[in-house]
Structure 1
Amino acid sequence: MLRFPGHGRPHPDDIVIAPLDLPGHVDEALAVQAVAFGLGPDEVAVRRQIVLRHMTFPGARAFGATAKGRLAGFVYGMPNDRTHWWSTVVEPYLRARGNDDWLDDSFVITELHVHPRYQKHGIGRALITTITDGADQPRSILSAIDAESPARHLYRSLGYQDLARQVRFPSADKPYAVMGAPLPLLRR
């Protein structure tokens, strides 16, 4: 369990980090992602199919943070595979920086989202360290919007470094950065 300060926030003992049956809770997870990431209904519908497909990949797993029985945040990921769509998009950017070897023997954080009501209390940190602590790979990779943000600050504090910047995904308006870190992730 995570502990929180008061100030109208959740009670200290209300947050539990545990394995998540993501296919069984996909709509609840995507509702968190929609609020946290600003997604509309059409994009949620597309992402629903992506999440369900990802969870069939070997080694895919998810963790959730629940508060009073409701999902407050989630993370999911899997061992990276160069044939997956994400890898095929980021590979040229990584290769240009001499970092395409990071696509091998890495655990990719596919999504990490915390409902805004529960942000800034260590839930994102707890989720990502919990999922990567169980990885068989020696390192982790992820992509994040290429802007200074609380998410990028969190990733850097865990040991992630930029491997490529200004990465353009076909359906995204903003450029992304690909980041990588050795495992286990840094602790405070």
Structure 2
Amino acid sequence: MSLTIRRLSPQEFALNADSLVDIYISAMGYDPAIREGRIFSWRREVIRPGFTALIAEDATGVIGVAYGFIGTPDSWWDRQLRLALRREGELSAEEIEMLRSYFEVAEVHVLPRMQGHGLGRQLLVELLWNAPGKWALLSTPEVPNESNRAFSLYRSMGFTDVIRQYRYPGDERPFAILKLPLPLS
């Protein structure tokens, strides 16, 4: 399998957001009715500080996408993260430091037919290579016994728990929020 991982400029990402969101919907099993809203959101995120986007391509076209940016208090996800942490009690010194310096892994998705071949790992490693921040943070849907490819990938890379069983507004599923110290070793 001939595979290329390529960085996209913010403009390229915005222009291709529709097909990239299709990968996300397919990989996550979301209702296609959310498509237009997600395209709008993804296009807005290109202005975030440190925005970085990657795609994986083979002879058939784009088969994977990953993007992220520096976490800032003005983002929806940061506000959710802070809310989740405060529900657990007083913030620890490590949590305060984490909130000051993290790279948000917004999305990492691979078409279902291409999953299980290490492509998600390649995208995530490339995304986090030289990422700004002391931590990489992400969220992933909870599954019983962490028995899916996403959890296997994150655990094998060294991601640990920040918050478990968090429910984002608008999604009935619980999510895990995970962290990884940067730079990658």
- TM-score, reference length from structure 2: 0.88
Runs of 4+ more than 4 Å apart: none
Cα contact 1:109–1:140 (8 A) shared by 2: yes
Cα contact 2:65–2:110 (8 A) shared by 1: yes
Does 2:22 match 1:26?
no
Cα contact 1:91–1:100 (8 A) shared by 2: no
| Aligned position for 1:17 | 5
- CA offsets, 1:72-110, max 9 Å, x none? 000000000122111111212223264632222110100
Cα contact 1:166–1:175 (8 A) shared by 2: yes
Q: Percent identity?
A: 30
Structure 1 position 184, deviation (Å): 2.9
The structure 1 residue matched to 2:140, chosen from 140, 144, 163, is 144
Q: Mind listing any 5+ residue stretches in structure 2 that lack a counterpart?
A: none
Structure 1 position 41, deviation (Å): 2.6
Q: Mind listing any 5+ residue stretches in structure 1 that lack a counterpart?
A: 1-11
Give the alignment of 1:59-98 within 5 angstroms: 59-68=50-59, 70-95=61-86, 96=88, 98=92
- Cα RMSD for the two superposed structures: 1.5
- 2:154 match: secondary structure: helix
Structure 1 position 38, deviation (Å): 1.3
Q: Tell me whether 92-101 or 19-28 shows the greater mean CA deviation.
A: 92-101
- Return the structure number with greater helix share: 2
Structure 1 position 27, deviation (Å): 1.1
- 1:33 match: secondary structure: helix
| Aligned position for 1:180 | 179
Which residue identity is paired with 1:170?
A: P
The structure 2 residue matched to 1:120, chosen from 96, 99, 116, is 116
Cα contact 1:165–1:176 (8 A) shared by 2: yes
Number of equivalent positions: 174
Structure 2 distance, partners of 1:31, 1:93, is 29
